[in-house]
Structure formats: C-alpha cells, structure tokens
C-alpha cells in the first residue's frame, strides 16, 4: 500500500537539492525521532551513496535501480519499495518523474 500521508512530523523548510536540481527533497522528523525524506527525482540516471540503510518507497511514477555490486536493473513503481544497505551506493534511472519517501535507519 502506498503511503498517502505522514502525520505528526516536523519539516525542515529548506529543500535538499542534489544533482543540479534533478533530485529535490524535504527532511521530516517523526514524533519518535526517526527521519524520512520526501521528494522527487526528475528524468536522469544518478548515483546515490548511503550512510544508514534506506528503504525507498515509490509513491508516484517509477524508476529502475541497481544496487552496489549488481549488474541488474530492477523496476520499482508506485506502491513498491526497495532496500539499500548502509555504507553502500545505488544507481537510479528515471524516465518519468519519480516521487518517493526515503525511510532511514
């Protein structure tokens, strides 16, 4: 089920802008202290590095991703999630705007 709304959060009002504006997100902190970011990735092929493990949840559009060490691109569409290990990286290929929630930890 796709997340439609996140209640009880504080929002950092300044956007996180990466890759010359191809990825824009806002950081949210839940009441329990956990963090998520909500954003969009415009059409591009990008490489992200991770510190903590991440769960990427697609809430609109779609992407293809390739985890570090893999040679296979995997599609992720609205309602689907994929896990990225901590201290790793992944490539993401977007052909239509990809709307996501990134769950950290």
- What is the three-class DSSP state of 81? strand
User: Cα(96)–Cα(58) distance, rounded to whole angstroms?
Assistant: 12
| 87 pLDDT tier (thresholds 50, 70, 90) | very high
- Assign residue 87 a region (left: φ > 0; alpha: ψ between -120 and 50; beta: otherwise): left
Report the relative pairing of strands 23-30 and 9-11 from DSSP bridges. Answer: antiparallel
| Distance from C-alpha of 18 to C-alpha of 4, rounded to nearest angstrom | 24
Q: What region, left, alpha or beta, does residue 22 occupy, with left being phi > 0 and alpha being psi -120 to 50 degrees?
A: alpha
CA-to-CA distance for 67 and 84, rounded, in angstroms?
7
- Please state the domain extents for the chain: 9-104
CATH of 9-104, one of 2.40.220.10, 3.40.1410.10, 2.60.120.10, 2.120.10.30: 2.60.120.10
3-class state of residue 80 by DSSP:
coil
Task: Dump pLDDT digits (tens) for 22-80.
Answer: 999 999 999 999 999 999 999 999 999 999 999 999 999 999 999 999 999 999 999 99
Q: Is 0.75 surpassed by the pTM of this model?
A: yes
């Amino acid at each position: 089920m796709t997340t439609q709304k996140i209640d009880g959060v504080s929002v950092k009002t300044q956007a996180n802008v990466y890759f010359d504006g191809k990825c824009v997100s806002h950081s949210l902190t839940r009441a329990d202290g956990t963090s998520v970011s909500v954003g969009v990735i415009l059409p591009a092929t990008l490489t992200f590095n991770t510190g903590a493990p991440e769960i990427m949840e697609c809430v609109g559009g779609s992407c293809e991703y390739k985890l570090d060490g893999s040679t296979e691109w995997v599609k992720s569409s609205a309602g689907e999630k994929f896990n990225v290990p901590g201290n790793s990286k992944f490539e993401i290929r977007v052909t239509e705007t990809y709307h996501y929630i990134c769950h950290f930890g």
